[in-house]
Structure 1
Amino acid sequence: MDFAHSARAREYIERVGAFLESEVLPREQEYFAALQAREGHWAVPWMMGELKAKAQAAGLWNLFLPASQYGIGLSNAEYAPLAELMGRSLIAPEVFNCNAPDTGNAEVLLHYGSDEQRRRWMEPLLRGEIRSAFCMTEPDVASSDAANMAATAVIDEGTVVLNGRKWWSTGIGHPDCRFVIFMGLTDPEAPRHARHSMVLVPLDVPGVRVERMLPVYGYLDEPYGHGEVSFTDVRLPLDAVIAGLGRGFDIAQGRLGPGRIHHCMRLIGLAEHALELACRRSVSRTAFGKPLASLGGNRERIAKARIAINQARLQVMHAAWLLDTAGARGAISELSQVKASVPTMACEVIDMAIQLHGGGGLSDDFPLAASMAAARSLRLADGPDEVHLGVVARAELGRYRAREAA
Structure 2
Amino acid sequence: MPDPIQHSPLTTLIHAGKALDYPGGRPVNPPVVRSSTVLFDTVAQQREARARRGEERLFTYGARGTPTSFALEDAVCALEGGYRTRLYPTGLAAIGMTLLAYLRPGDHVLMADCVYEPVRHLADTFLRDHGIRVDFYAADGSDLEARIEPATRMLYAECPGSLVYEMCDLRRLSALARRYGLLLVADNTWGSGLQYRPLALGADVSIMAATKYLSGHSDVMMGTVTTTEDAWQPLSTLADSFGIAVSPDDAYLVLRGIRSLAPRLAMHEANALAVADWLTQRPEVATVFCPALPADPGHALWQRDCTGTNGLLSFELRSHDLSAAERFIDALTLFGIGASWGGYESLATLSDVKRARSVGDWSGRGPIVRLHVGLEDPRDLIADLEQGLAAMGR
TM-score range, shorter chain: under 0.3
Tell me which protein shows more helix as a share of its residues: 1
Normalising by structure 2, we get a TM-score of: 0.27
Normalising by structure 1, we get a TM-score of: 0.26
Higher relative contact order (CA 8 A, sep 6+): 2
